[in-house]
A and B are shown apart, each in its own frame.
Chain A
């Protein structure tokens, strides 16, 4: 599953994407730390923020992961959260910006 995932980004925002993606990597670390500490409130907040910011930049999948994390945190479903964070991490390693 090493296929790249292409995301089309508005040309005006192109130069913001490297910082955006770097911040998503940091976000994964924060999510993992919060999950390890079973800090559901922190997970909920992080998920909520992902939901807002992802789509705004054109990364619909980031918003979708955010929705799942927010939901998992609300129900306290550790396994679902861990799986989701892993998927998010994997997604980030494959995502690639396309100018199309």
Chain B
């Protein structure tokens, strides 16, 4: 009866079923530990309530054999505490009570005990009860593992699907924000303020008439690879690719207070990252083209549009149309932005770089809008550029 508060490990803990025995009577604790160890279980014993709680919470055993009458916290209190804590709630608890003590059993049930064992202890009964709980516990653990695996699989599928549209960082955020059965995006449409960026290869359509068919797809892929990376670097969401144009949205699906700045940086990044590709094309075959970009802001409707067989995460609105018109007006290496967007990036644009074009009437729009132009690309053979 020496140091009774120190946990005493009776068998080496391999991957064995771990039982915590709590009994203030060292003889009883030793007996229970021996009977369980004989069944190949790893047993720790403690002799008072407070030590039991600390041990249970720190080492989360697979099962607890808990005496009710303890110095310190009572068995009922320990049981209730462990059952109230998410981390320990699933540990099966067997309360050890006197045979005739009905009141204790009722209190034990109220405290969340999984089973009861009577004193004096009958070894066969102890083993039978523990084994039953062990099976239940293992089944529950296996189900939990399967549920987790399915959950990981589901998230991975979502990640794969969405990583084609949005930056990996945004995908990660969507996944981590995902509830148990939540969808990554609201199925109903929303109207939000967005910044839309349209980019395309100026003069590329004309170019496809002279370049071999096989090469066109390869070149488009090279081009889309670099501008996709640029869009992702600034957490833009790619809404569509059509021909040689790309539509990128900002402030969607998550709020980005600096959406206009992100769009401006994306534009610079796209043109800069495309420069080496362009240089290579030019060297190989005198191909002359360049990325033209338009950026506009305004309200847009966001939603999943399509049929059950083909869905598309879509953005519709004036900002998109304006950005498209601006892009069509831009030359290779040029960025055209609407007045409100310029207002938000003005501070960042190096002096003399932006040229006010005044109010420009855009095709399909009743009113002329202020437009600002910025040359972002290096020198590009002028002959092949435009429209």
> Which residues of A line the B interface, CB within 8 A?
10, 12-13, 16, 19-20, 23, 26, 48-49, 51-57, 63
Q: Which residues of A contact B367 (CB under 8 A)?
A: none
Total interface residues on B, using CB and 8 Å?
A: 16
CA distance A16 to B26 in the complex (A): 11
B34 at the interface (CB under 8 A from A): yes
A to B CB contacts below 8 Å, 15 in the list:
A12-B38, A16-B27, A48-B69, A49-B28, A51-B119, A51-B120, A52-B25, A52-B28, A53-B28, A53-B119, A54-B120, A55-B121, A56-B120, A57-B31, A63-B120
Q: How far is it, in angstroms, between the C-alpha of A51 and the C-alpha of B28 when the chains are bound? A: 11
Q: Are B31 and A52 in contact (CB under 8 A)?
A: no
User: What are the 9 closest A-B residue pairs judged by CB atoms, nearest first?
Assistant: A55-B120, A52-B119, A56-B121, A56-B120, A53-B27, A53-B28, A20-B27, A49-B25, A12-B38
Bound-state Cα–Cα, A10 to B119, Å? 17
Is B255 located at the chain interface by the 8 A CB criterion? no
> Given A51-B98, A51-B120, is A57 in contact with B27 using a C-beta cutoff of 8 Å?
yes
**Contact partner, A53, options B34, B38, B120, B123, Cβ 8 Å:** B120
Dominant secondary structure at the A interface:
helix
Q: Does residue B30 face the partner (Cβ distance < 8 Å to A)?
A: yes
Collect the chain A residues with CB atoms within 8 Å of residue B28's CB: 49, 52-53, 56
Contact with A along B190-220 (1 / 0, CB 8 A): 0000000000000000000000000000000
Tell me the bound Cα distance from A53 to B118 in angstroms: 11
Residue of B26, B38, B119 touching A56 (CB-CB under 8 A): B119
- Residue-wise, chain B 106-144 has the 8 Å CB interface mask toward A (1 for contact) of 000000000000011101000000000000000000000
Q: How far is the CB of B130 from chain A (nearest CB, A)?
A: 15
Whether the Cβ atoms of A48 and B98 lie closer than 8 Å is yes
Residue of A nearest to B1 (CB): A23
Among A13, A23, A55, which residue has its beta carbon within 8 angstroms of that of B26? A23
CB distance from B95 to the nearest CB of A (A): 13
Contacts A16-B34, A26-B1 aside, 11 further interface pairs with beta carbons under 8 A come to A12-B35, A13-B31, A16-B31, A23-B27, A48-B69, A49-B25, A52-B119, A52-B120, A55-B121, A56-B120, A56-B121
